[in-house]
Structure 1
Amino acid sequence: MSPNNKGLFSGAVMSRDKVVVKIEKNNIIEMDKELAPLYIIRTSDFEGWLRMRSIDLHRTNSRLLKKVLRLNTSDEIEIVLTANAATITDTYWVKEKGSTLLYKDIIFTKDTFSDLALYGDPNAFSLGRQPTPELTNIGSYEKCWKMKRGQWYMYKQGSEFERFSEVFAYELGNKLGFNMAKYDMWDKYVVSEDFTNNGQVNYEPMHSIMLDNEDYMDNINIIKEMGSRLVKEYLDIIFLDTIIMNVDRHTFNYGLLRDVNTGAILSLAPNFDNNLSLISRGYAKSQERNDLMVKLFLEVKKNVEYKIPILTKELVEDIAKQVKAKVHVEIDINYIVNFCMNAYYKIK
């Protein structure tokens, strides 16, 4: 698919086979405010919504993907439209005016270019043009979607310390009873199952509502309007961020799950994308935690009631040992224990 009318798109944003937004020459002329994407409801910016769905063109393997698919453009909108703006993690897509396509015609069923997107597999250059979810696989790390037994899984590159930090975060959050996207290891990649279960729910990043505003209290106040139970889920996320010093919780790596049929907000999405936490950038000079993450959480604690989970040295040590063996990396376990527990003592 390509834009018509000299680069302007006319047609519709679809959810499965239901029209949720009507578009005429890139302008929104009608919208279902119950079912439309939250970003479009919030901003009425169709082009911005398309750009949000584009692969990061600075990734080396995205350039290889463009070459294999013979996409002679660096325009994010044109690239997204090539994939009908469809993604793995929601049921939205765009249908050009006059098209007879149905959702079953555009939904992704194969992972043909997964290895090219993940590590630049040269064998992909003999595969020819085929539909791929990689054109709408956002983020700055080399990654891909692989299909295993009818289920999509995200595979992502990273250094040994990044892989350790990602899997450690999952294991710790899981032990504390938090809603976590499961992370495991496969060879030298971290692997996570698609938490929308093949489009049974729609994932929408918090950017759709908050744009770039990461302020804890601003987010809490907005989330509170969606339901008090969601506030606890958000507090769990920023509690864990504080313990493991995840400084990368921007508004594209947390978000909401919505009912596909009604548009109702069901919950926050499981906690994901913790690879830039803990020792991902090496060991800090001091394990004393008087850092900004601790200070920000303490400010929240003054204003919002939150029952601090029970965290022990023994639990952190056990998890660190298990993940060390799984990732096959040499780490200082005492450092991990002290780093996490010092933050815990400060906020408890």
Structure 2
Amino acid sequence: MAYNNYEILSKDTVVAIWKNNKLKVINNDLLPLYLKRIHNPDMWLETRAVDSHRANSRLLKKAIRLEYKDDLSTVLHVNGATITDTYWVRPIGSKLTYSDVKFQKDSFSTLALKGLYRSFNYVSKLKDTRTPELTNTGSFEKGWKLIDKKWWLYKKANHNEQFSELFAYELGSALGMNMAYYEKGDGCVRTLDFTDNASVNFEPAMSFMGDNEDYTDTIEALKRICPAAIADYVKMIFLDAVIANPDRHTNNFGLLRDTNTGTIIGLAPIFDHNMSVIARGYPGNPKATDLLISLFNDLMKKYPEYTTHIPSVTEQTVINILDKINMRVKRQVIIDLVMGRYGFIERTKKK
């Protein structure tokens, strides 16, 4: 059930109060970026909810016995807390502290990732139902596991999805990009929490862009709020173009902020490529009219000063990555795919 009136906090600092459907800002420096754009905390909280279309999320809610399963009620069950930032809420007058709501256990991770009945039956008997899975967003089945005091996000993936995610990580790393760390798992990939247990706050681009993915609009927004992030943003969408990643959206990239001052640090490490390369089958031969290539080249024509951020890709780099990953794939097809797509961008760069 939703709170009628509540405080929004960052760690133990009250940053705003939502009372009688009016937002009173207490500390604008620490206010979530979403609330600087849209002054409705209920809407902000709903964006933090686990995707209700995921089958395993329905099992989670059933095992926890949530009385109300709408997005707002789901999030409020854990006070709106997430793994990747320090924001949370509490009813006005509550004595709860950040240590009370910060996640310490991963009891529901296996159910969230695999949906096994034995996991469902096990967690249904737990008294402590505070779990980060209720605020683990995204459309793929996934789960947070706590290993040696570090949070790892495990995401379900088949062979081609595993390869594609790992290939993107290795290629981006080889090109000097700031990549979130990935490893292969058993029927999944896993990535280390790049906020290091909310040592910094991750603000998805949705917070300042809504669902607007337009490259030019994003560049202009970054000029206003964090010019230092532009170079990494250009590299990210360049990588997307080269590896045929159509699934870049405003919830899978964003900015990092200092948790103590609210200062925007820069673009978050690049992540989420499990729909790229061969994840949905082997793409056909690349063409200059390919949408991602065209969009990127159009952006570079508009901002030629940013072409300096485009890294060089060599065939040997691709070969080395294929050797390192060592998974069964059509190697030459992937080499031709990457180098062909890069070639169209490279020729544009040289004009």
**Which of 1, 9, 13 is residue 14 of structure 1 equivalent to?**
9
Specify the alignment match of 1:71 in structure 2: 66
Deviations 1:106-130 (A, max 9, x none): 1100000100000013333233242
Q: Counterpart of 1:232 in structure 2: which amino acid?
A: A
Q: For 1:319 and 1:290, how far apart are their aligned partners in 2? A: 27
Alignment pair present for 1:126 and 2:136: no
User: Does structure 1 retain, via aligned residues, the 8 Å contact 2:277–2:283?
Assistant: no
1:29 and 2:27 are equivalent in the alignment: no
Task: Work out the CA distance in 2 between the residues paired with 1:153 and 1:58.
Answer: 23
Identify which of 317, 320, 332 aligns with 1:318. 320
Number of positions where the alignment pairs a residue of Structure 1 with one of Structure 2: 339
Question: Structure 1 residue 288: deviation in Å?
Answer: 4.1
The verdict on how the C-alpha distance between 1:319 and 1:184 changes in structure 2, with shifts beyond 3 A counting, is: same
Counterpart of 1:86 in structure 2 is 81
**Aligned equivalents of 1:126, 1:161: Cα separation in 2:** 32
Q: Comparing 41-50 with 144-153, which one deviates more in the overlay? A: 41-50
Alignment of 1:234-249 (within 5 A): 234-249=233-248
Tell me, yes or no, if the aligned pair for 1:196 and 1:202 is still in contact at 8 Å: yes
Aligned AA for 1:259?
Answer: D
Instruction: State the alpha-carbon separation in 2 of the partners of residues 346 and 287 from structure 1.
Output: 9
Q: Deviations over 1:42-94 (max 9, x none)?
A: 11121110110000011111111011100133310001000100000000000
* Residue correspondence of structure 1 range 117-266 to structure 2 within 5 A: 117-124=112-119, 125-127=121-123, 128-130=126-128, 131-266=130-265
Secondary structure at 1:100's aligned position in 2?
coil
Contact 1:145 1:155 in 2 (8 A): yes
CA deviation map 1:182-232 (0-9, x unaligned):
111122210100000111100010011110111111101111223432110
Number of the residue aligned with 1:280? 279
Q: String of CA shifts for 1:21-54, please: whole Å, max 9, x gaps.
A: 1011443133422111100111112111011000
Q: Which runs of structure 2 are paired with 1:319-334 in the superposition (5 Å)? A: 319-323=321-325, 325=326, 328=327, 330-334=328-332
Q: Given the alignment of the two structures, is residue 347 of structure 1 paired with residue 342 of structure 2, yes or no? A: no
- Pairing partner for 2:108 from 109, 113, 116: 113
The 2-side partners of 1:250 and 1:115 are apart by: 27
Distance 2:302 2:221 in 1: 15
Q: Is the 8 A contact 1:147 1:153 kept in 2?
A: yes
How far does residue 278 in structure 1 lie from its aligned partner after superposition? 1.0
Aligned equivalents of 2:101, 2:162: Cα separation in 1: 33
TM-score (norm 2): 0.94
Give the secondary structure class of the aligned counterpart of 1:195: coil
Q: Distance in 2 between matches of 1:285 and 1:150?
A: 44
Give, as a single letter, the amino acid of the residue that structure 2 aligns with 1:47. D
Identify the residue that residue 39 of structure 1 maps to in structure 2. Answer: 34
**RMSD over equivalenced CA pairs, Å:** 1.3
What one-letter code is carried by the residue in structure 1 that aligns with 2:233? Answer: Y
Q: Please give the alpha-carbon distance, in whole angstroms, between the structure 1 residues aligned to 2:76 and 2:339.
A: 48
Looking at structure 2, the residues matched to 30 and 230 of structure 1 have their Cα atoms a distance apart, in angstroms, of 27
Q: Deviations over 1:222-247 (max 9, x none)?
A: 11223432110100101101100111
Match for residue 349 of structure 2? none
Task: Output the TM-score relative to the length of structure 1.
Answer: 0.94
* Structure 2 unaligned regions, length at least 5: 347-351
Q: Percent identity?
A: 44
